[in-house]
Amino acid sequence: MIQRFTMGRPIETDAVLSKPRSSDFSAFPYDHRIENNAFVFTFGMEKDDIVYGLGEAPRGINKRGWIYQSYCSDDPFHTETKQSLYAAHNFLMLGSSGIFIDFPARIVWDIGYTKADTAEIRIDGQDFDIYLITRDKPADTVREFRALIGQSYIPPLWAFGFQQSRWSYHNSEAVDRVIAGYDAADIPLDCVYLDIDYMERYKDFTVSETAFPDFARYVAEKRAQNIHLIPIIDAGVKKEDGYSVYEEGRRNGYFCKTADGADFEGGVWPGIVGFPDFLRREVREWFGEKYRFLTDMGIDGFWNDMNEPAIFYSEKGLRNALGKAASLQGENLDLSGFFALKDTFLGLSNSQDDYASIYHTIDGGQVNHQKVHNLYGACMTRAAGEYFEQAFGKEKILMFSRASYIGAHRSSGIWFGDNHSWWSHILLCLRMLPSANMCGFLYCGADLGGFNENATRDLVLRFLALGVFTPLMRNHSALGTRDQECYSFENPGDFRDIIQVRYRLIPYLYDTFRRASENNEMIFRPLSFDYPDDKIARECETQLMLGEECMIAPVYEQNVNGRYVYLPEDMTLFRLSGENVSETPLKKGVHYIEAALNEVPLFVKKGASVPLCRPAMRTALLDLEHMEYITAK
């Protein structure tokens, strides 16, 4: 059963495809109040209740015990202290009861932090829709919710191949070295990413002729090698006279405004930029068609970035900070004076004052950005997705985004943003997978090996062993960090063994993905979904069910040869390494499982089978007709 409760005049987000009739708020089952113009409601929780959801968010699968915020945030330090990441996914479940709040501004979710037995949800406004979904089982509630918001995006098959990225492969020679490195090490590869340096001075929909001369020819050469080049697109459009994209945007009034009607301008990679008002249909049509510049050159995949939107500074904020610094020149700064100055400069990026000075045009009126903040990145990606479907049909273009809101799952995937080369981030990725699936985002994954900091060889291998199962399998690292390409480490044969396992599993993973999309199901589920009466399974946060047949349990600690795994029923452990397969039938219970650095453990339910194909250097070269099956005894 789905109930919809409407308060005020909600801004249309298009998250829900078909809205049920609104119920009278007198029937709203939770205690609620208005407090400082916010709508606040509470519900009680029993000691053993599990709270699921919130999609891409910090901490665990069970959301109890912390405060979360729905507020898309450009913050690369994904620690347990944070309350939000890059996305706003406003779906929560208490057991099998679901709540979706369709509201594009800030929501604060206090899930037993202030009071252990109480959840308090604070909606920063009084114009929203709340959907309540009641089913007998959590998986049924998810299925009902997913039917409400529409079918998840399905990428092309090649997007399940292994992908290599870095900030940055500065020119064609650098890209060629990457491809040659993988080929020489006999490690499969399908995609190489182009970060911001492929552009002419960081301008969207341009290519540097110096770095990539005759880009269309180069793309064709890579496609002949079955390699896909995936360029980045940022939200901000460089302010530059003579730059056609900026000139068109300014001439047509397509950029976000300030209160006095001037274009809002902020600093990002290219310096001062204008931010397209993606909430307007005509702006989405204009910006989406700009991708044609690259698709006409043979590009068939993109990643949208910096679309929370990320703002390094505004001219006003920078001017004030520099003025404050100048006024303190020659001063003897004490503790409070120094840290006040430091905080002034740290506060330049993604400033709440700057966000509050931005205005969008909605239905002919001006709406402050803070009322629609969480829609911005989703609408940027929607612009691209709508153009791709119109121009190429479905499932032809790879598209994923950093910022997102529920509804964007119909046109793109997501990646979990600028993580770190920390062992804890293996588990952070694992725990976000089922939560993202609940909210419709099936094509997702983390930067394998970690984006920030220097990765160790064993960390990258263990991260990849989880990435074998994530639909997006991408190794990505930041400027200034050590080389993280798989062939750059000693004994690259171990990396070959892991990535070949991925290619052997692609038929199974793709079929599982497609079924989940078409049937509004999850690829990854908490063990508690399948074993609700099993106390150990209910509390398990380091293992996931995969599809109908499998369970995964990655090794996530340094300097260990394996891990303890709980089997909620009899299963067979298959250790996969390159083309080698070993099997060990195991009984229900706790087992210590050894897994070498070049092995991927996979647990298969008794009597179930998983198809494996022969590995190949590219997905286009896979033999999808002749399969080997591993069957659990």
- For the segment 265-271, the average pLDDT, to the nearest whole number, is 97
- Say what the pLDDT of residue 497 is: 98
- Cis? peptide before 314, omega within 30° of 0: no
- Say what the pLDDT of residue 108 is: 98
- Say what the pLDDT of residue 207 is: 98
Q: How far is CA 512 from CA 246, 306, 501, 611, 612, in A?
A: 43, 31, 16, 11, 13
Identity (one letter) of the amino acid at 558?
Answer: Q
Which residues face 365 on adjacent strands?
362
Q: How far is 439 from 520, CA to CA, in rounded Å?
A: 10
Q: Is 292 helix (H, G, I), strand (E, B) or coil?
A: helix
Confidence class of residue 246 from pLDDT cuts 50, 70 and 90? very high
pLDDT tens digit string along 549-583? Answer: 999 999 999 999 999 999 999 999 999 999 999 99
- For the segment 600-610, the average pLDDT, to the nearest whole number, is 98
Residues 6+ apart with CB under 8 A from 324: 341, 344
- Say what the pLDDT of residue 187 is: 98
- Say what the pLDDT of residue 592 is: 98
pLDDT tens digit string along 8-36? Answer: 999 999 999 999 999 999 999 999 999 99
- For the segment 65-85, the average pLDDT, to the nearest whole number, is 97
Residues 6+ apart with CB under 8 A from 522: 139, 142, 434, 437, 438, 516, 529
Could you give the angle at the alpha carbon of 212 between the alpha carbons of 206 and 213, nearest 5°? 100
pLDDT tens digit string along 106-135? Answer: 999 999 999 999 999 999 999 999 999 999
Q: How far is 299 from 194, CA to CA, in rounded Å?
A: 11
- Say what the pLDDT of residue 102 is: 98
Q: How far is 137 from 15, CA to CA, in rounded Å?
A: 23
Q: Do 186 and 496 touch, CB atoms closer than 8 A?
A: yes
Residue pointed to by tokens 């063990």: 527
Q: Do 448 and 163 touch, CB atoms closer than 8 A?
A: no
Least confident range of 320-324, 400-404, 617-621, 628-632: 320-324
- For the segment 485-501, the average pLDDT, to the nearest whole number, is 98
- Say what the pLDDT of residue 181 is: 98
- Say what the pLDDT of residue 79 is: 96
pLDDT tens digit string along 317-334? Answer: 999 999 999 999 989 999
Full 3-state SS string of 61-80: CCCCCEEEEECCCCCCCCCC
- Say what the pLDDT of residue 356 is: 97
- Say what the pLDDT of residue 63 is: 98
pLDDT tens digit string along 57-74? Answer: 999 999 999 999 999 999
- Say what the pLDDT of residue 632 is: 97
Q: Do 546 and 524 touch, CB atoms closer than 8 A?
A: yes
Q: Do 423 and 557 touch, CB atoms closer than 8 A?
A: yes
Q: How far is 562 from 212, CA to CA, in rounded Å?
A: 45
Nearest-10 crossing angle of helices 424-438, 457-467: 20
- Say what the pLDDT of residue 208 is: 98
Mean of the per-residue pLDDT values for the chain?
Answer: 97
- For the segment 526-552, the average pLDDT, to the nearest whole number, is 98
- Say what the pLDDT of residue 137 is: 96
pLDDT tens digit string along 223-234? Answer: 999 999 999 999
- Say what the pLDDT of residue 402 is: 98
Q: How far is CA 212 from CA 215, 217, 283, in A?
A: 5, 10, 29
- For the segment 198-212, the average pLDDT, to the nearest whole number, is 98
Confidence class of residue 541 from pLDDT cuts 50, 70 and 90? very high
**Alpha carbon of residue 399 to chain centroid:** 11
Identity (one letter) of the amino acid at 306?
Answer: M
Phi and psi, residue 542, nearest 5°: -120, 10
- Say what the pLDDT of residue 403 is: 98
- Say what the pLDDT of residue 58 is: 97
User: Which two tokens mark 212?
Assistant: 């990539």
